[in-house]
Structure 1
């Protein structure tokens, strides 16, 4: 089946290994098979915070990460929310298709509200999944590589597409979610790996920075290393991370470490992560900010052309 792929990230800080194994690795593979749009979701930064922070700096860093992991701007359209007004205008008709109760039940929105830095929940936070529906459907996206926590948002997009088609005639495909090899990677504290929780390993981290982060990882006092995600989340998280970087099952790594304890586990994980990130770091060192800006300008132009066509189609279908 021929797909159009839509995926992306908010520019709130550096991408990390959880992003890579949850979604980025899929993007690198899929770009050779299907047309792909990759969104820098700068407007969505303010869904869960009062200020956008260093938005321009973070956007540049995000683009450098994309290029370093192997996304090819000749194959992929990389663009940003704030440059595509026609995309954002789709939010209005889409909101009319979803009830407030459906938005309030969204489990990912509930979790994001829990970890929000805002003093009160904004309307934008509740409508976040519908904004993501506009992101996906403006380019007629049919395949969305996501981590496990984003699955409810894709379900909202599927709901919006079906209801629009039922009410106004078929305009949109109903997209599918695609999960990565490790949908939700544990962070260095044993919880979900996240930029906002400070428990991640950035893709741009140096070898020394990576070693320092892993040394601080939470483990336990049991010297025998075993893979048990429920009873030993910190140890299991490091074993999973090492296994993904080495291409081996985590239980095999646990058996090899044996009675080596947490110190040996952290050393093995550090070596595995640094070896894995070495070529990504090398590619990133060859890039500069001018490269990133040029890629974004070209991508914004292509994405806006697509958004204009889709918005015109939506207006005609609705009778405007």
Structure 2
């Protein structure tokens, strides 16, 4: 694992699943805890959250490989080429196309937030729920927390006249849209992947600066400095969410071994009480 590596693991936080917990909405975070008796779910949904450029996609692939080698049945969520029921897949693709054209069309951030929530709900119902009910592990390399955080920051860049109070209202509204089905509980675990700003910039440039971002003045750009500014703001808010939710935080970086970081993620996940019971009925907490 490397003696000098920085690794942060939390055990159980306020969002940890508890067997037999009553349905309990948590307004500040969009988490719902549900009773074990409500669904015989046997799989687990693992979410790797983190700012753009944190290496989540490569890390998710390595985590999946290691879990498969350990004998687990694993799949990833699919947005670019969705599977599942045709109507779910069509919605997922349509939202992806909307986001791809959003900058050119000036699409409102309220509409983008609603569309993203609908897309994630379609992924949950079309991909995640069927798999976890079969006892599989499903891995997402990004999910709702990063999405609403990024959209809220970009909205503040595009509407500089908005007051902090207005931005706060937008964020509260976005969190209430979270796409975890309250009537279909999912055993879910979230891990925050935290990479230094310099490494996020390096990976962004190495990937060819494919995705434009908004700079602090609301202009679309592929400037690495603007990417660093945006993703640092995203990372700050996600660390706050991790503190509130009790998510484990795993350090990633270009000088760290991918296999070692993936092993850290798996260690963080398997240390959670939910993992020990994921082959039977459990209380559930949506990521």
| Alignment TM-score, normalising by the size of structure 1 | 0.29
- Whichever of the two has the greater Rg, that structure is 1
Higher strand share: 2
Structure with more relative contact order (C-alpha pairs < 8 Å, separation 6 or more):
2
